[in-house]
Amino acid sequence: MYFHKAFTCTALIIWPLAAYAASLNPEEAASHVGENTTVCGLVASATYASQAMAAPTFLDLGGAYPNQVFSVVILGSDRMKFGAPEVSLRQKQVCVTGEIFLFQGKPEIIVRDTEQLSNR
């Protein structure tokens, strides 16, 4: 019984660290297209394209637009949930979780829920 409790406590302590260690950096994302994973990095540029179709907000990691390596996309229909992320998250370290897609040859994750995006 002691072993079981010790194992459970150890697993609860190590599991969050393992999840963090398993995250990808923006440069690794392109080789994980189609996977549901976490990407972490610095928001190098952030733009709210209010006049574009779907009014997306782009958080660019691994370089500023148009040289971004990876993008987080928040569609206008979900924007209210996030406030003004192009202001609040610019130059911040973030982690995003979801399925990686390619758009115009670059990897991105579309975020629909605030639980998918965290500021570190």
Evaluate if pTM is beyond 0.95. Answer: no
Considering the domain boundaries, does residue 11 fall inside one?
A: no
Considering the domain boundaries, does residue 93 fall inside one?
A: yes
Considering the domain boundaries, does residue 1 fall inside one?
A: no
Considering the domain boundaries, does residue 15 fall inside one?
A: no
d(CA 60, CA 44): 6
Is the peptide bond prior to 66 cis by the omega test (within 30 degrees of 0)? Answer: yes
CATH number at residue 65: 2.40.50.140
Considering the domain boundaries, does residue 90 fall inside one?
A: yes
Considering the domain boundaries, does residue 86 fall inside one?
A: yes
> For the chain, what is the domain count?
1
* 24: its two tokens: 């990808």
- Pairing outcome for strands 70-74 and 57-61: antiparallel
Range of the domain at 61: 24-119
DSSP state of 97: E
42-101 residue pLDDT tens: 999 999 999 999 999 999 999 999 999 999 999 999 999 999 999 999 999 999 999 999
Name the residue among 58, 71, 60 with its Cα closest to residue 101.
71
